Structure 1
Amino acid sequence: MFAPVSRRRSLAALAMLGAGPALAQVKIVIAGVGGTRIPVAIVDFRDESKSPQPIAAIIRADLERSGLFRTVDVAGALSETSAPAYADWKARQVDDLVAGSVSRLADGRLDIRFKLWDVVRGAEVIGQAQAVHPDDARLAAHRIADVIYEKLTGDKGVFATRMAYVTKAGRRYSLVIADADGEGAKVALTSPEPIISPAWAPNGRELAYVSFESGKATVRIQDVQTGARRVLADFKGTNSAPAWSPDGGQLALSLSREGGTQLFVINRDGSGLRRLAQSSAIDTEACYAPDGSKIYFVSDRGGGPQIYRMPAGGGAAERVTFNGNYNISPAISPDGRTMAYVTRNGGAFRLCVMDIATGQSQQISDANDDESPSFAPNSKLIVYASRAGGKEVLMTTTLDGKIKTPLLVTLAEVREPTWGSFGAQ
């Protein structure tokens, strides 16, 4: 049985910091043609109207967005309390089947139950129940989708994790935290001055970002549960582009305190500042390899912006990108196998992925304004900002680019999404 979920309490303090811009949500739309996907049927949960959220629809959308599942349209009722007629479901070309129920407990909580059956083998896979506050019904649905995903793929699901991103509406900037499907957005911070470069701490409880509220670029860290903030870096010149080390003990920063823009590391408590490389070039946009051994970054030391890497403790740098003359915004997958980045192709900025072992790159977007890729904690999806139909949009994509899903479309500017770790729930 799941432990009770209570994200609403952890976000309550954030909601009090200020109302955010009006964000126009869109339903999941999948673009592109994927490969073979598992056909799964999720029947509407019995008495689902007792929930403020459409449990089955959320589960369907989560699984579709992963690119690994094809949900089969079904009608009628099915109870999780008895075995289904497997032959009938096989005839509908369903491999796996999910049904559940919602009931209200005496204390006002919702009792949400489900079962997953393997139709091909004719066997129950798992059944679970969770009691949640009605405000946590969406999170409960995401967690059910995570269980289904893991049971059917062997990989951990990411639907109950969170994202952060920045919006700009008029002269107002907001740091926003939302569910992994773009819903449930809460404003963590608003400011009349720019907010840029948000980065989740590995523990999922803190965000580092750059704020201009003091009249210059400073790096701050904010507790996402309490809203408490502190200044990490306020050195001479600009302080920018924070990136957490995998153990959360240090952050890499770009500072101009010694002229130009160079990479430094600093302890999470603000002590131990140390420069990483001696170079007259501009070095910025650092990110760590998941084992903490290397730092990837952008530098113009070769004449134009390209991606390099060097030992995390400093030392000689080697160039990583060679296709094109403008490559920026590296992000390394948590499994260490893939690098996402943005390349300029003519006047268009497009998302690319690179197999780190072979160095082979692939452009997976044909848009013109892609930026700020960030990996899901299971390394299977990427979130990034783009434009579609003249509007700002957050997108997720599979690594091959075949399944793309708009999460958020808004008239406000939306930028710099960052996907939290499994701890960001």
Structure 2
Amino acid sequence: MHRPRRALLAALGAWGTGAAWPALAQFRVEISGVGATQVPIAIAAFRDEAKYPVPIAALVRADLERSGLFRNLAADEALDERSNVDLTQWRGRGADALVAGSLARLADGRFDVRYKLWDAVRNTQLLGQSKVVLAADLRLAAHRVADEIHEKLTGERGVYATRIAFVVRSGRRYELRVTDADGEGGQIALTSPEPVISPAWAPDGKRLAYVSFEMQKAVVWVQDLGTGERRVLANFRGSNSAPAWSPDGRQLAVTLSQDGLAQLYTISAGGGAPTRLTSSSGIDTEPVYAPDGRWIFFVSDRGGGPQVYRLPAGGGAVERVTFVGDYNISPAVSPDGKQLAFITRQNQAFRLMIQDLDSGTLTPLTDTNDDESPSFAPNGRLLVYATRLQGADVLMTTTLDGKIKTRLLTSGADMREPAWGPFGR
């Protein structure tokens, strides 16, 4: 089976082929690789967490390790936030930081999650926090603990409490899912017997745009994740595809073939008549805004094979961005606007690449053969992408040097089209 996005490009007269498309998983994460500089941290099991279904400490460990910035050390001692810890001893065991906490059920059914973070190098306490949450929010609480630890130790925001959207194919059913950043928990936003592709987050994190084939053609929809209400944004003659929100959330860039070849347009987030941006003799598609809103990056075969280009967000002169290789698609721009991730074809293998936009320096991130759909975490430290491993379509995250990779495991269904959501939840 063709992968839906590449199949759509082929249907537009463009390029490329590929293969297929999870059910929500239990907590399982596979992490591979070794980073250059990592903070050694010991995270003890939270007191009494074994009585309840959410392994708080294990989630925090996995979150921090997935970032590539932390290395977990064994912490088998019975500790909690009230313990008198000998930080000198922990420093002697190689730990720069120590975390211990507890989980308690309150009389009203809510849970009290408490923890402390100690700096073993400076022999001091850095954090002491308590969170009272509903049972349904225990996983989110664990991710927020990891975010707080991450920010305290690195000075930058963590992304563990953010969300990703992706498409699941199970048999003849397609689902648009929104989950925690580790691929678990969350909700099913849409179920359809027809393909769903290209989810794109609104900057407020409350809406998703996506392409659905339920009308037997590619149509762009926008859906409110809180209410489930959805509406058609673009259903013009021909194909309507590849939505991308502007940073202010007021409009979207889309690919329309209403006037013949697929070209770029903008359309108000409330709908209405589109404004044409490009008029080329080739296929123009897969637009994405730069974080400052000044540029739109996109893919075009106007020069022969597909390459990444950019143009001013209001239209104007087009500049080519990628020059190495004859097939480069699926651009994603880092939150600081300095890096471009994309998929390149190398000897019939589709692989994830990152390019410094100032110097043009290229860094290959993978050695797999069927990568697709890169998307940056909102802090710019990680990328999520789809690939095929051991006969299954899976989602992976990678650090920007390619050294730490995490597979988001599921129970067997195929996962595709990931999009990492913004901060705020």
The CA distance in 2 between the partners of 1:83 and 1:124, in whole Å, is 11
Q: Report if the CA contact (8 A) 1:39-1:93 is conserved.
A: yes
CA contact (8 A) 1:158 1:378 kept: yes
Counterpart for residue 104 of structure 1: 105
Residue in structure 1 matched with residue 235 of structure 2 by the alignment: 234
Would you say 1:86 and 2:106 are equivalent positions? no
Q: Please name the residue that 1:133 is paired with.
A: 134
What is the alpha-carbon distance in structure 2 between the residues aligned to residue 26 and residue 58 of structure 1? 8
Q: What is the SS of the residue equivalent to 1:248?
A: coil
1:111-150 equivalences in 2 (<5 Å): 111-150=112-151
Deviation at 1:194, TM superposition (A): 1.1
Amino acid at match of 2:47: R
1:307 corresponding residue in structure 2: 308
**1:25, 1:415 → 2: CA distance?**
19
Deviations 1:188-232 (A, max 9, x none): 111111111110111000000011111221100001111100110
Aligned 1:17-416 pairs, distance under 5 A: 22-23=23-24, 27-409=28-410, 411-416=412-417
Per-residue deviation at 1:371?
A: 0.1
By how many angstroms is 1:95 displaced?
0.4
CA distance in 1, matches of 2:405, 2:27: 14
Give, in angstroms, the shift of residue 273 of structure 1. 1.6
Structure 2 distance, partners of 1:134, 1:50, is 13
Q: In 1, distance between residues paired with 2:253 and 2:232? A: 15
Partner Cα distance (1:229, 1:375) in 2: 25
Determine the C-alpha separation between the residues in 1 that align with 2:360 and 2:411. 36
Contact 1:391 1:411 in 2 (8 A): yes
Q: Match of 1:11?
A: none
- Equivalent position SS for 1:49: helix
**Which sections of structure 1, spanning at least 5 residues, go unmatched?**
1-20
Aligned sequence identity (%)? 62
Native 8 Å contact 2:298 2:309 kept in 1: yes
> How many aligned residue pairs are there?
404
Query: Distance between the aligned counterparts of 1:169 and 1:185, measured in 2?
Result: 18
> Which deviations, in whole Å up to 9, do the C-alpha atoms of 1:35-57 show, x marking residues without a partner?
12100000111111343200000
* Residues in 2 aligned to 1:122 and 1:288: alpha-carbon distance in whole angstroms: 45
Distance in 2 (CA, whole Å) between partners of 1:55 and 1:23 is 18
Is the Cα contact below 8 Å between 1:392 and 1:410 reproduced in 2? no
CA RMSD of aligned residues (A): 1.2
Moved more, 82-91 or 387-396: 82-91
| Code of the aligned partner of 1:77 | A
Cα distance change, pair 346–409 in 1 and its aligned pair in 2 (3 A): farther
Write the letter of the residue equivalent to 2:324: N
**1:315 Cα deviation from its structure 2 partner:** 0.6
Asked if the contact 2:23/2:168 (under 8 Å) is kept, the reply is: no
Once residues 112 and 33 of structure 2 are traced to their aligned partners in structure 1, the CA distance between those partners, rounded to angstroms, is 37
Give the 3 Å change call, closer, same or farther, for CA 25–285 of structure 1 in structure 2. Answer: farther
Q: Distance in 2 between the 1:161 and 1:73 partners?
A: 27
Moved more, 318-327 or 273-282: 273-282
1:49-103 CA-partner distances (Å, limit 9, x unpaired): 3432000000000000000000101111112124411111111110001011111
Q: Is the 8 A contact 2:24 2:184 kept in 1?
A: no
Secondary structure class of the residue paired with 2:31: coil
TM-score (norm 2): 0.93
| Post-superposition offset of 1:26 | 6.6
**What is the TM-score when the length of structure 1 is the normalising length?**
0.93
Shift of 1:187: 1.2
Q: Which runs of 5+ in 2 are unaligned?
A: 1-21
How far 1:272 moved relative to its partner? 4.7
Q: 1:22 to 1:82 in 2, by over 3 A?
A: closer
Runs of 4+ in 1 over 3 A off after TM superposition: 21-26
C-alpha distance in 2 between matches for 1:25 and 1:377: 25
Residue 411 (structure 1) shift: 3.5
* CA deviation string 1:205-261 (max 9, x = no partner): 000001111122110000111110011011111100000000100100000001100
- Give yes or no for contact 1:51–1:110 (8 Å, CA) kept in 2: no
Check the 8 A contact 2:251/2:269 in 1, yes or no.
yes
